[in-house]
Structure 1
Amino acid sequence: MSDEYPLRPFLPADAMALRDLFAQSIDELTVDDYDEDQRIAWAASAEDAAEFRSRLGQALTLVVQLDGEYLGFGSLKDNKTIDMLYVHPDYAGEGVGTALAEALEKIARARGAEAVTVDASDTAVPFFERRGYVATQRNSVPRDDQWLSNTTMIKRLAESPTKKPSKPS
């Protein structure tokens, strides 16, 4: 499935378009789980363009761009945490998020991570559950004068290819 979408590393020039995608994704895809004030506060976390660009640049961020159009992006922080995973509303449910999640999980495994965690929005919990993530705790995150709920989830990865299974003695 991920072959359908070309993945590439984030470039600083992507920041403004990804900021728009981030806000649009929150505004349109999370309506059933967060009220308008919560969505506005959440999207406002990307208002500082330099800070948003820096956040994307400090993580391993992959971008899906097809024919000049941004379809989604995902970031892996510390080789073991999916920090951000956002899909343009026009492409939700078409495998973009799956392609990004698969790639980030594969990179984490290759870099020696035994598990990947994510703080999933209420909207994203079913997506991550389908990928084998298990909820470990609920969180309330302050954003401006709003509180947003999310769920910390973890997925155990298959043993990394660099580790040889220990032989029984």
Structure 2
Amino acid sequence: MGYSIRSFEDGDAEALAELGRAAIGAIGPDAYSEEQVDAWLSNFAGPEVYQAQADAGTQIFIATNDDDEPVAYAMLEETGHLDHLYCHPDHTHEGLASSLLETAALYAKYHGITHLFTEASEIAKPAFESAGYTAMKKRTFEIDGVTITNWAMVRTIETATGAKVPA
């Protein structure tokens, strides 16, 4: 199966919401309890959020299969905040997370974003580390009274002129 990466298009919102929910439900239990996964799912974005983010200028990079169906995606805000990175459970271990993170880094490089930052789940942390992100600190927070952890991570981006700008 071949994959390609494209930008968000009208009509993608429902598929992205379903993809994210499928990823959390299937992969989340690898690092989080059932109670944590349920809390995460209860507060996960609906389709309207994706459309609103795209309309507000957030870059949504989508990995698609041969039929142009979304199978993974990343959301990059204008501030350099990488808000989502999800891969459908049927398409993990295909290098899609790495490709999406590199696409976001290239976009940042050519749009003057000097660093990228994220809050990575325990599951996503290794993919971010492989893409050059550094874990700054482990974060603990609550969703509906359920304690969950993730990692504040950052990556410095070399500018298009070649100068490295510190984060």
Q: Same fold (TM over 0.5)?
A: yes
Match in the other structure for 1:77: 77
Identity %: 27
Structure 1 residue 17, shift from structure 2 partner: 1.1
Matched, 1:46 2:40: no
SS in 2 for 1:71: strand
Structure 1 residue 132, shift from structure 2 partner: 1.7
Structure 2 alignment gaps of length 5 or more: none
Match in the other structure for 1:63: 62
SS in 2 for 1:75: strand
Aligned positions of 1:1-169 closer than 5 A: 5-46=3-44, 48-58=46-56, 59-66=58-65, 67-158=67-158, 160-162=159-161
Moved more, 67-76 or 103-112: 67-76
Structure 1 residue 138, shift from structure 2 partner: 1.5
> What letter corresponds to residue 146 of structure 2 in structure 1?
Q
> What letter corresponds to residue 32 of structure 2 in structure 1?
Y
Whether the 8 Å CA contact 2:61–2:75 is kept in 1: the answer is: yes
Whether the 8 Å CA contact 1:10–1:57 is kept in 2: the answer is: no
Flag the 1:44–1:55 CA change in 2: closer, same or farther, 3 A. farther
Q: Distance in 1 between matches of 2:64 and 2:4?
A: 7
Structure 1 residue 44, shift from structure 2 partner: 2.1
Aligned residues: 161
Structure 1 residue 142, shift from structure 2 partner: 2.2
Structure 1 alignment gaps of length 5 or more: none
Runs ≥4 residues deviating over 6 A: none
Flag the 1:137–1:57 CA change in 2: closer, same or farther, 3 A. farther
Structure 1 residue 57, shift from structure 2 partner: 4.3
TM-score of the pair, normalised by structure 1: 0.85
Structure 1 residue 70, shift from structure 2 partner: 2.0
Flag the 1:5–1:68 CA change in 2: closer, same or farther, 3 A. closer
Structure 1 residue 34, shift from structure 2 partner: 0.8
TM-score of the pair, normalised by structure 2: 0.86
Deviations 1:97-148 (A, max 9, x none): 1111110111011111222111100111111111221111121232223222
